[in-house]
A and B are shown apart, each in its own frame.
Chain A
Amino acid sequence: MTETMIVAIFGMIAIGVFGFLGRRGPASGVAEWTVASRKFGAVTTFFLQAGEVFTTFTFLGLTGLAYATGVPAVYALGYIPLQYLILYLVAPKLWTISRDHGYVGQPDFLAGQYRSKVLGCVAAVMGFAFLLPYLQLQITGLGLIVQLATGQTGSATLSMAIGTLLVVGFVMWAGIRGVAATAYLKDILMVSCWPSRRSRSSSTTQAAWAGCSIRSPIRRRRCSACSRAAMTSSGSSPTWASA
């Protein structure tokens, strides 16, 4: 057990505890569990969106991409705002229709709007089948981060198991509120991560950092980038860039 591994395990447990604390009273209904009875405020919505859409999906392997291909990676700067522009127009409509009819998810929306359980089922089967490998990718990425950082091969399996069990725990207990709570913690962690690091660059990388460092708080994103970087090296390469 190295220092790094101990910090990592305690950190994971802290994330899990945060998720458990997200619960507001017994969540025994589907609407409370999946969409928090539609009661999230602006700040929670922001962190939830930033946490689930932005980080994994659009960042996937961006560091690796920049490393491997160079400047073309910069085009991500253009397409992310573009996709938010569309969502700005579309998402409020989705929300209003879903509230009026009580939809709690995408297949629900389709099944209800089209009055077709077949369409809902087809969409749900597709969603389930295509998202399962994505979930596997998240877990693999988690293990890879720990393994790359500690240099011990056994550490990956242990951390994947602990991480998954914690996620299962807080998702069952608190549903989407648990996810929202961990999204908060994630951003706090990233903020706390960046300032202390600047003074500690070793001589090997210092020159390089000085060459292209950006002296602003957005340096903190380095933390989250590691998971994305790690995720893509797990064998599959989703075509996230332009679909």
Chain B
Amino acid sequence: MIGAGFAAFPYTWPGILGARSARIIQRNFIVQPIYALCVVVPISIGFVGILALDKTAAGNGNGTLLTLARDAMPGWLLGLLVVAGIATAMVPSGALLVAMSSMFARNIVQVRGDKQQYWLGQVMVVVTALIALLLAIQGSNALANLALLTFSGLSQLVPSIVAALRRSGPVIHAWSAVAGLVAGVAVVAMLTFTSLAVGTWNVGVIGLGVNIVVVAIVEAVLRASRGAPLPHQPVSTGGVA
């Protein structure tokens, strides 16, 4: 939850940055919670499942909705329901591909030039999607461990993002951010895979704690030797990458 609140998930960024003004984004997050009330519905369907489904036949519960729907609907209508379901898989897939391929071209390979980045991005859309498709078709568990880390791991980006929210530049050094990030992810991975007893604590939160402590230590050392990070020079406004 903390991760989502502080935009730690890269695939939500194009949607936010694509808006015409900051005002639009602000209004958007006023209206979204009303839409969020809709979560009542899947929860209710789950409750319906408890009443209506044969416990032994229904398995782990994730098929609850479709099991109910298959009994209740004619074929064409079930088809429409399926299409709506497919859409909720295709829309985020698209957003994921946009974010992943652009970050690959701009921040991992770091090719120079807008055109070159654009074309490498196009290639990466195909490559990334094909990898994911092949893994999905094989029912591969190759990435299962990574999947366990997706949310708690990405949440480790929160301190770096928060510290960089000042317009004139971040309040900490880059190396403090890198050290905190690496430490946070390492802790999350360790706790996830060694099944160390952590009580009811969420591993992402523990990771964040370690993350912030490491940032503070490295930052203290850096400030002692180099001083506080310098603010950026004023920039011209309205620039588009």
Q: What 0/1 readout, one digit per residue, does chain B (182-224) give for beta carbons within 8 Å of chain A?
A: 1001000000000000000011110000000000000000000
B contact face: mostly helix, strand, loop, or mixed: helix
**Inter-chain residue pair count (beta carbon < 8 A):** 639
Closest-CB distance, A20 to chain B (whole angstroms) = 12
Contacts A63-B42, A66-B47; is A33 near B1 (CB within 8 Å)? no
Contacts of A218 in B (CB 8 A): 37-38, 40-41
Q: Give Cα A73 to B9, complex, Å.
A: 23
Contacts of B204 in A (CB 8 A): 239, 242-243
Q: Give Cα A51 to B67, complex, Å.
A: 24
Q: Give Cα A132 to B151, complex, Å.
A: 12
B: number of interface residues (CB 8 Å): 162
B30 touches A145 (CB 8 A): no
Q: Give Cα A86 to B91, complex, Å.
A: 24
A contact face: mostly helix, strand, loop, or mixed: helix
Q: How many A residues are at the interface, by size bracket?
A: 35 or more
Q: Give Cα A227 to B86, complex, Å.
A: 7
A105 touches B13 (CB 8 A): yes
Closest-CB distance, B234 to chain A (whole angstroms) = 10
Q: What 0/1 readout, one digit per residue, does chain A (1-20) give for beta carbons within 8 Å of chain B?
A: 01111111001101110010
Between-chain CB contacts (< 8 Å), 11 pairs: A30-B105, A48-B95, A49-B15, A67-B53, A93-B165, A99-B237, A105-B99, A106-B13, A145-B85, A189-B83, A232-B62
A136 touches B136 (CB 8 A): yes
Closest-CB distance, A197 to chain B (whole angstroms) = 6
B83 touches A8 (CB 8 A): yes
A116 touches B96 (CB 8 A): no
B150 touches A141 (CB 8 A): no
Asked if A24 lies at the interface with its beta carbon under 8 angstroms from chain B, I say: no
Question: Which of B24, B68, B70, B128 is A132 in contact with, Cβ under 8 Å?
Answer: B128
B96 touches A135 (CB 8 A): yes
Q: Give Cα A171 to B101, complex, Å.
A: 10
A136 touches B157 (CB 8 A): no
A113 touches B170 (CB 8 A): yes
Question: Which of A6, A59, A80, A118 is B33 in contact with, Cβ under 8 Å?
Answer: A80
